[in-house]
Amino acid sequence: MLITSKDNDTIKYLKKLKDKKYRDQEKAYIIEGIKLIKEAIQENQKIKYIIVCDDCAQEGNFDSELKYEIAKYECIYVSEKIFSTLTTVVNPQGILAVIEKEEKDEQIDFENDLFLILDDIQDPGNMGTILRTADSLNLKQIIVSKGSSDVYNPKVVRSTMGAIFRVKVIESDDLVKTVKEMKKHKIKIITTSLQTEKSMYDISYKKSAIVIGNEANGVSKELIELADEKIKIPMPGKTESLNASVATAVVLYEAMREKLK
């Protein structure tokens, strides 16, 4: 069956999933592109639908292995005109899928040695890249403030390059309360700050949580006051600050370097 009408109920449902409120309500989100769909299949994600642009399929853009795999799921074929209303990328590959969110345990595993806390990260690209970095370091969980960019935003999902399927994201309604709880578990809180002379190379990251702040305002005053260590990234050049995702990667990899010594 080929869907060519924008008034089709399934098409209306897919369009609504672009909105965070509806994603939360339906406990589902959209992924797009061949690589992400292959990763979702490999990671045994709960795939509700796979939507294929009929014109793209005829062009033979999908390899035989992918065609074989997607045939195991409920596939919905749509016209190119309809697909263009669903895609969020400039040059779509003609395939997207709806993934059901897993029922995740929202409790923090305090037994871990290294934690990442995101304090109101706003840019979806930054959020996605940070998740990808966390996955590269085998971090299984990160904690985000309620005011941070939604991790199931299509741009975030795309930027994670599949990390969204492997990293548990715990959303905190009250980050100050969460950090206080972590301190009770003897976890050292480390914040980035320009108001310190201490370099990121001057401290130990053993049993610690690294807090990365908002792109414009940095870490909130309340969290800085709770910090056990305040650090800055040495920048001998003229640039005074780094992109949030770059700063996250620099500090996390220093923590990993110490761990691997």
Q: Render pLDDT for 22-43 as a digit per residue (tens, 0 to 9).
A: 999 999 999 999 999 999 999 9
Domain limits, the chain:
2-100, 114-260
Residues 233, 242: contact at Cβ < 8 Å? yes
Whole-angstrom Cα distance, residue 56 to residue 62? 9
Residues 14 and 36: their CA atoms lie apart, in Å, by 17
Confidence of residue 67 (pLDDT cuts 50, 70, 90): confident
**Residue 55: strand, helix, or coil:** helix
pTM of the full structure? 0.90
The average confidence (pLDDT) of the chain is 92
Q: Which residues contact 165 (CB under 8 A, 6 or more apart)?
A: 39, 40, 43, 45
Cβ–Cβ < 8 Å for 223, 183: no
pLDDT of residue 60: 54
Kindly provide the residue ranges of all beta strands, DSSP E only, lying in the chain, ordered along the sequence.
Answer: 2-3, 28-32, 46-53, 75-78, 95-100, 114-118, 141-145, 168-172, 188-192, 208-212, 229-231
Residue 53, Cβ density class (10 Å: 0-12 exposed, 13-18 middle, ≥19 buried)? buried
Does 1.10.260.40 match the CATH number of domain 114-260?
Answer: no
Distance in angstroms (rounded) separating the CA atoms of residues 181 and 209: 12
Cβ 220 vs Cβ 174: under 8 Å: no
Question: What is the pLDDT averaged over residues 204-213?
Answer: 96
Give the per-residue pLDDT at 1: 72
Q: Within 10 A of 211 (CB to CB), how many other CB atoms are there?
A: 28
CA–CA dist 151, 157 (Å, integer) = 7
CB of 119 within 8 A of CB of 213? yes
Confirm or reject CATH 3.40.50.300 for domain 2-100, answering yes or no. no
Tokens of 240: 């005074």
Q: DSSP string spanning 61-97?
A: -S-HHHHHHHTTS-EEEE-HHHHHHH--SSS--SEEE
Average pLDDT score over residue span 93-117? 90
Q: Residue 57's pLDDT band (boundaries 50, 70, 90)?
A: low
pLDDT at 69: 92
